[in-house]
Structure 1
Amino acid sequence: IPKVAFTASMTSTVNSHRGPFSSETNLIFDKVLTNIGDAYSGTTGIFTAPVNGVYYFRYSGNAFTSHDMGLSIFKGSSRFVSSYEYNSGEQNDNASNGAVMQLEAGEQVHMRLWIRSWVFVDYRYNYSTFTGFLILQRKCR
C-alpha cells in the first residue's frame, strides 16, 4: 500500500485571519507540516488522490467571538461535510469535522471558507488545520 498522509496549517507572521469574503473561497493551508507521498499542494490547497482508495480527511477551525466560521470539505465540486460556528459571544470558538471518502486516482479534495465568515490564523500554534491520509488502496471498478 502506498504511503499517503498530510497535515497542513496556514502561515502568518502575526495572529490574523482569513476572510470574511463576499463569496465562498478555497482555503489554502500553505504551512505544510507533513506531506508523505506529496499528494497535497500547499500552493493550491488541493489534495489529489495518487491511487484509487479509501481516504480519511479532517479539519479543525478556530475563530473568535465576533465572527461566524463556516468550513466545508469538498470532493471535486461537491460539498462533502461541513461545520458552522455562530459568533456565540464566547472567547474562542472551535469547529471540526471529518469524513471517509472513496476516491479514484486523480480526484481532488479541498477546503472552503463560507461566505461572510472567517477562520483564525495564528503564527505559532497551528489551531486551524487540514489533514488527510490513505486508509486502504482498492482496485479500479
Structure 2
Amino acid sequence: AFSVARSQDLKGHKQTQSAVSFDHEFVNTGGHFNLKQGTFIAPVFGSYEITFSGGGLPHRKMSLLLMKNNFEVQALAYDGHTRGKPRVQHQNLILELEQDDRIWLKLADGQQYGVSGQRSHSYVTTFSGHLLQNTELNDVTKRYKRHKRGTNKKKRATVTREVNDVTVGNSQTAIAFSAACRRSVFGGDVTGKDPSHDVTITYDKIFVNVGNSFNWETGVFTAPTSGVYYFSFTVGKFPKKKLSVSLMKNDNLFQVMVYNESKSRYREMQSQSVILQLVRGDTVWLKTYNSKEYAVYSNLGSYITFSGYLIAKV
C-alpha cells in the first residue's frame, strides 16, 4: 500500500512531462513507491485499487494522466481557471498489474496546465494505491509451461492440479471489477418517442473483471455471493449540460449525484463511493436522467468509471 502527496505547485511546459514527483509520504508499505521518481512498482501480480486527486492553479487548466508503464490509462481534468481555492477533482479505478509493472502520474503537456500543491495545511495533489488481491496464477502457469516438456507425467499432473486449484480458488473468493465508458452519454431521445427517464450507462473498456460478475454490455454488476461490497464511480460534467447520475440497487435508487448548473462551459468531474450489503443475485448499476438538458462527459481519457469489489462474505 502507498499514499503520497505533493506540497509544491507544478506548472506545465511545452516539453514532454516526466512523472509527477512527491515529497510527503503517508504510507509506503514495502517501500515500493519512489517519492522522487513518482513511480510505484508492483511487487506481485494482482488487482490494485488506485486513487488520485488534483487541483488546478489560478489561470491554468488541470489535467493529470494515470500512466501504466508508458501508456495512458485514465485522465483527471478540470478546464476552469480557478480563482482562490483550487477545485479538487478525484479519480478511482482497479488495475490488474503484472509484477514490476510501473504506474505513475503525468501532468499534461503544455503551459496552460498546472496542478496545486499544499493549500491551507491540506494536500490537494495525492496518489494512493493498495493490493486488493494477490494472484500468483501467472507464476504457476509459467512453472507449468516450463515443466510441460522434459518432465515425467507425475510432475506434470502435480503442476496441472496446482493451476486448476488456483483458478478455482480465485473464481470463488475474488470478486472485483473496474470499467470505463470512453464516450459521452446524452439524455433525451432525438425522435421524441422514448418516454423513459432511465439511461443505463454501459462501458467499452474493462480494466478488471475478476469473477466475471460484471456485464460491460449491459452495465450491470450481479452479486455472485452474499456479502459486503464497496462501489465507487466517477463521472464528468458535459459543458453547458446538467448532470444527474444515480447508483441503482436492483430497481431502487440508492445514491444520486446531481449537478444542476447547466451554464458552465467547463469540464468538471464528480466522484462518489458507497458500501452495500448484497445478497446473491442483487444487481447494481449506474443510470442518468433521460432529458436533453442532461449529459455525462467522457472521451478516451476514461472520465466515466465504475468499480466495485467484495469486502467480506456474510
TM-score over 0.5 for the alignment? yes
User: Which structure has the bigger radius of gyration?
Assistant: 2
The answer on 1:41 being equivalent to 2:215 is: yes
More strand by share: 1
Q: How does 1:1-141 map to 2 (within 5 A)?
A: 2-12=173-183, 17-21=184-188, 23-86=197-260, 87-116=262-291, 117-123=294-300, 125-138=301-314
| Greater displacement, 38-47 / 25-34 | 25-34
Q: How far is the alpha carbon of 1:90 from its aligned partner?
A: 5.0
Number of residue pairs the alignment of both structures matches? 133
Q: How far is the alpha carbon of 1:60 from its aligned partner?
A: 0.5
1:93-127 per-residue CA deviation (whole Å, 9 max, x = no partner) reads 2222111111111111111012321111202x111
Q: Note the aligned Cα RMSD (angstroms).
A: 1.6
- Counterpart CA distance in 2 for 1:58 and 1:88 is 27
Show structure 2 runs of 5+ residues with no match: 1-171, 190-196
- Counterpart CA distance in 2 for 1:121 and 1:94 is 10
Letter of the 2:186 counterpart: G
- Counterpart CA distance in 2 for 1:38 and 1:59 is 19
Letter of the 1:34 counterpart: V
8 Å contact from structure 2 (residues 187, 199) kept in 1: no
- Counterpart CA distance in 2 for 1:88 and 1:3 is 44
SS in 2 for 1:122: coil
1:50-84 per-residue CA deviation (whole Å, 9 max, x = no partner) reads 11000011110002331011001100000011111
Q: How far is the alpha carbon of 1:33 from its aligned partner?
A: 1.3
8 Å contact from structure 1 (residues 84, 95) kept in 2: no
| Greater displacement, 49-58 / 83-92 | 83-92
For normalisation by structure 2, the TM-score amounts to 0.40
Show structure 1 runs of 5+ residues with no match: none
- Counterpart CA distance in 1 for 2:222 and 2:311 is 15
Q: Larger relative contact order (C-alpha < 8 A, sep ≥ 6)?
A: 1
8 Å contact from structure 1 (residues 85, 94) kept in 2: no
8 Å contact from structure 2 (residues 180, 205) kept in 1: yes
- Counterpart CA distance in 2 for 1:19 and 1:60 is 16
Percentage of pairs with the same residue: 26
8 Å contact from structure 2 (residues 182, 304) kept in 1: no
More helix by share: 2
